[in-house]
Amino acid sequence: MKRLAILGSTGSIGTQTLSLVEAFPQEFQVVALASRRNVTLLAEQIRKFSPRLVAVEKEGAAEDLRRRLSGLEVEILWGPEGLVSLAIAPDVDLVVSAMVGTAGLLPTMAAIEAKKDVALANKEILVMGGELVMAAAKARDVRILPIDSEHSAIFQCLSGGRREEIKRVILTASGGPFRDLPRERFAGISPEEALRHPTWSMGPKVTIDSATLMNKGLEVIEAKWLFDLKVSQIEVLVHPQSIVHSMVEFIDGSFLAQLSITDMRLPILYALSYPERRRNTLPTLDLTQISSLTFEPVDQEKFPCLSLAYWAAEVGGTLPAVLNAANEVAVSLFLAKRIDFNDIPSLVEKAMGAHKVRKLGSIEEALEVDRQVRHHLGAEFGIAG
């Protein structure tokens, strides 16, 4: 039985992970759960899965949780120290890192240093500190198992060839809700329109990133570190059907692709059960119902966020942390109707251009860069940085 700590248990990935734990009670056991602030749902999860350890972001949320769970045997922690304690708990075999934002960075690094395997769904961890994270994982013989459908697809395809035989990897993108919308109409896009993704059901921030194609840019940076690739080896193609989740082209011209239905429980289950596969009751892909599979290049003038991410990936150092922080602030401002859709890449580019890039020396330095960018943009827009 594999014993799990789930960071971000009340989010989309976390709740789907718990649904798989429920479906495979003989395979997985929940030892620890963490949520930033959704105390109501977290309390329900605690009653259902009986974890030994729980953590939340704020002390007040921890006190609320203690009142709700009076009489239950569960240790309730809070703050960054609480998250780290969950991640390094001795009875945890696998840490599911699904906490959105920078909050997951320190506990995930702590898990790696404690020689825990990590099922990774948090983009920020590799975007902000990929070189340091992967070096630590290699030094401690820790497996980083990708949960993102695109990186899971590449991970699975690479079982058919050696890394030195890779010519390129192709990340597929649905194109989001504005693939066919003329560029001149982007300024009038509302948050409500941007949140209507044509294929996937995701949280608000990730859905907006999909609409701007920043999510693909972040995935380029992730792929660089996960699979030890040159940026020039990573390509993004628009694939509206969202059936081919990614592909690998080898030096002999052969392609391997991973196809499945659009259900995140498939890559989650693969990460949880790796190196084995588990038979499940999820729907399967009906090839007879597929009329066509189409691929097209990304219009990077229309979706400049992808170009910004390639810039950050090529330069490296502290620049990806700037990209990530500025994008998170920009998305929040757009959702709050403080800026237009077109202002998202403009704000990110401005922040990147103003930053003096340096070599990234530590995870703490990445977090400090993140804090500085948020503080500067917060002062500019009159919000908490």
Tokens 């703490």 -> residue? 364
- Closest to 331 in 3D by CA, of 54, 101, 23, 84: 101
pLDDT in tens, 360-378: 999 999 999 999 999 999 8
Average pLDDT score over residue span 100-129: 94
The model's pTM is 0.93
Per-residue buried b or exposed e for 264-301, using 16+ beta carbons within 10 Å of the residue's own CB: bbbbbbbbbbbeeeeeeeeeeeeeeeeeeeeeeebeee
Q: How far apart are the first and last CA of the chain?
A: 43
Spans of all domains in the chain: 2-146, 162-262+284-311, 316-385
In 134-187, the DSSP E strands lie at 144-146, 166-173
Average pLDDT score over residue span 223-232: 96
Q: Is the pLDDT of residue 104 over 80?
A: yes
pLDDT at position 384: 59
pLDDT at position 385: 47
Pick the CATH number of 316-385 from 1.10.1060.10, 1.10.1740.10, 3.50.50.60, 3.40.50.300: 1.10.1740.10
The secondary element (H helix, E strand) that includes residue 259 is strand 255-259
Q: Is the pLDDT of residue 101 over 90?
A: no
Mean pLDDT of the chain: 94
- Which of 80-94, 200-214, 299-313 shows the lowest mean pLDDT across its residues? 200-214
CATH superfamily ID and name for 2-146: NAD(P)-binding Rossmann-like Domain (3.40.50.720)
